[in-house]
């Protein structure tokens, strides 16, 4: 009987890609990968440590894994494991701790543990190369969108952020590996490829003659019916070259996620964010004009240390007056060893909660306003999942979720859909007869 492995992923899209690689590695060693709720011989929790809530969820999932099968091997992997190995070593539920530096060797670590051999010592250096991921047909046949990790690491050192410590320096995947990975995924039938990384816009800074736009152009030489999406890009990395590609290449999705974090010119330098309120405002308004229909999404933090009511209002009004589609609003969480954790005064929890609710409500209004512009228009939709009897959902290139009647033969196809009704956070539509 095959050994069983189950993997639970917390955190960012990069973690999700790395969990896919773990699944492939376990299957290559003869394991069957099962749902995390099923009995398994090995449970891996791919953890996150971006906030204290992420830490808490990571610990909770490790305890849950142990309860599922007291005889199983429970592995804490990823960012929380990289940062908090000593804390995890004190958890009786955890058998193995595998930080990001050793993550690519996770199956070897597990097999050594199973056979009673000494474990691998913690890696001193970060892996210099990012290996491509080639999913198998039996694990991916129902998927329609695939994520390609093109880059890892960050050196921006925002004052609130622990990511550079747990992800290491900038490393770009070799362009030939990205292209081959994209080719493989398209041959499997994926119709949308999402380029992701810890600091995606910095792709190629460590490879002579390469940058993100050049990589996109090379992948676009691959034949087939598909589209490319960027998962996130920083304000100062939205180059004229990238904007021109968005203007002229219909296979690049009209969607940019550009983190704002704060709209206060007093707070931004304290965060070590190297742009001003006015620079960000001009950028997003220019993008909305030059790329009609562009969906602009963003991350916004409330409660950064010393944030006053005026600082918050500066953020609120910038968002209100800018062409956003959606926002990820989160409360500041002090991270050990960061500069911001030493700032005072810290903002009280009640104020953070109020400011968070206010921005979440504003984000909902902005989303409904954006969707409303497209009611009555026909957009190309990638059909993804069945949501009910005769109903499916899909995604437009500009990130509008659409519910529509359909059949199984539509799954995984790019089809024209007329948007008929604004449902607030998504749209209802129907396939246009061809």
Q: How confident is the model at residue 132 (pLDDT cuts 50, 70, 90)?
A: confident
Starting at the earlier edge strand, list the strands of the sheet with 255-257. Answer: 255-257, 295-302, 326-331
Reading the block at residue 242, the tokens are 């990238």
Residue 140 confidence (pLDDT): 45
Closest CA to 316 of 354, 287, 288: 354
Reading the block at residue 125, the tokens are 């250096």
Does the pLDDT value for residue 37 go beyond 80?
yes
DSSP state of 426: S
Does the pLDDT value for residue 30 go beyond 90?
yes
Residue 119 confidence (pLDDT): 62
Does the pLDDT value for residue 170 go beyond 60?
yes
Residue 1 confidence (pLDDT): 78
C-beta neighbour count of 322 within 10 angstroms: 18
Residue 120 confidence (pLDDT): 59
Whole-prediction pTM: 0.93
Does the pLDDT value for residue 130 go beyond 80?
no
> Where do runs of H (alpha helix) occur along 276-414?
277-290, 309-320, 349-372
Do residues 333 and 56 lie in contact, with contact meaning Cβ atoms separated by under 8 Å? Answer: no
Q: Using CA atoms, how far apart are residues 55 and 18, in angstroms rounded to an integer?
A: 19
Render pLDDT for 276-302 as a digit per residue (tens, 0 to 9). 999 999 999 999 999 999 999 999 999
Options 3.90.1300.10, 3.40.605.10, 3.40.50.12160, 3.40.50.150; CATH of 4-114: 3.40.50.12160
Average pLDDT over residues 214-237: 97
Residue 218 confidence (pLDDT): 98
Q: What is the mean pLDDT of the chain?
A: 94
% of the chain at pLDDT higher than 70: 95
Residue 117 confidence (pLDDT): 75
Do residues 216 and 186 lie in contact, with contact meaning Cβ atoms separated by under 8 Å? Answer: no
Return the bridge partners of 133, or none. Answer: none
Q: How confident is the model at residue 116 (pLDDT cuts 50, 70, 90)?
A: confident
Residue 78 confidence (pLDDT): 95
Residue 411 confidence (pLDDT): 92
Reading the block at residue 223, the tokens are 């034949």
Reading the block at residue 301, the tokens are 């933090």
Q: Using CA atoms, how far apart are residues 20 and 6, in angstroms rounded to an integer?
A: 11
Pairing of strands 171-172, 96-98: unpaired
Q: What is the domain partition of the chain in residue ranges?
A: 4-114, 137-372, 378-431
SS3 65: helix
Q: Which helix (H) or strand (E) holds 140?
A: helix 137-140
Residue 360 confidence (pLDDT): 98
Tell me how far apart the terminal alpha carbons of the chain are, to the nearest angstrom: 49
Residue 34 confidence (pLDDT): 95
Render pLDDT for 378-432 as a digit per residue (tens, 0 to 9). 999 999 999 988 999 999 999 999 999 999 999 999 999 999 999 999 999 999 9
Superfamily holding 378-431: Nucleic acid-binding proteins (2.40.50.140)
Render pLDDT for 51-105 as a digit per residue (tens, 0 to 9). 999 999 999 999 999 999 999 999 999 999 999 999 999 999 999 999 998 898 9
Q: 137-372 in CATH: which number? A: 3.80.30.20
């Amino acid at each position: 009987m095959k050994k069983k492995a189950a993997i639970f992923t917390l955190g960012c899209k990069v973690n999700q890609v790395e969990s896919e690689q773990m699944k492939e590695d376990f299957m290559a060693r003869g394991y069957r990968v099962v749902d995390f709720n099923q009995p398994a011989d090995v449970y891996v929790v791919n953890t996150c440590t971006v906030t204290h809530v992420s830490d808490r969820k990571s610990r909770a999932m490790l305890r849950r894994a142990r309860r599922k099968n007291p005889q199983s091997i429970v592995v804490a992997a990823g960012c929380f494991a990289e940062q908090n190995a000593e804390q995890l070593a004190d958890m009786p539920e955890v058998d193995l701790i595998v930080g990001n530096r050793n993550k690519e060797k996770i199956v070897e670590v597990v097999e050594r543990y199973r056979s009673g051999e000494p474990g691998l010592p913690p890696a001193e250096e970060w892996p210099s190369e990012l290996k491509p991921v080639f999913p198998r047909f039996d694990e991916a046949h129902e998927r329609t969108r695939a994520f390609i990790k093109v880059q890892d690491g960050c050196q921006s050192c925002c004052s609130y952020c622990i990511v550079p410590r747990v992800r290491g320096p900038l490393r770009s995947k070799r362009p030939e590996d990205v292209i081959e990975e994209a080719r493989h995924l398209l041959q499997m039938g994926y119709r949308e490829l999402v380029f992701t990384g810890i600091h995606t816009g910095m792709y190629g800074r460590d490879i002579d003659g390469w940058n993100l736009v050049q990589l996109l152009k090379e992948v676009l030489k691959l034949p087939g019916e598909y589209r490319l999406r960027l998962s996130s890009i920083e304000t100062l990395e939205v180059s004229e070259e990238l904007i021109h590609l968005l203007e002229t290449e219909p296979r690049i999705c009209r969607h940019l996620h550009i983190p704002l974090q704060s709209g206060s010119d007093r707070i931004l330098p304290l965060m070590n964010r190297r742009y001003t309120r006015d620079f960000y405002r001009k950028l997003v308004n220019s993008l909305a004009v030059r790329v009609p229909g562009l969906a602009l999404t963003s991350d916004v933090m409330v409660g950064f240390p010393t944030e006053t009511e005026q600082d918050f209002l500066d953020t609120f009004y910038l968002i209100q007056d800018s062409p956003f589609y959606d926002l990820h609003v989160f409360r500041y969480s002090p991270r050990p060893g960061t500069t911001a954790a030493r700032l005072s005064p810290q903002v009280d929890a009640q104020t953070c909660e109020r400011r968070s609710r206010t921005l979440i409500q504003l984000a909902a209004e902005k989303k409904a306003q954006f969707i409303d512009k497209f009611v009555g228009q026909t957009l190309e939709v990638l059909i993804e999942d069945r949501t009910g009897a005769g109903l499916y959902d899909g995604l437009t290139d500009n990130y509008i979720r659409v519910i529509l009647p359909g059949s199984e033969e539509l799954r995984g196809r790019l089809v024209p859909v007329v948007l008929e009704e604004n449902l607030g956070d998504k749209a209802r539509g129907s396939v246009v007869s061809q």
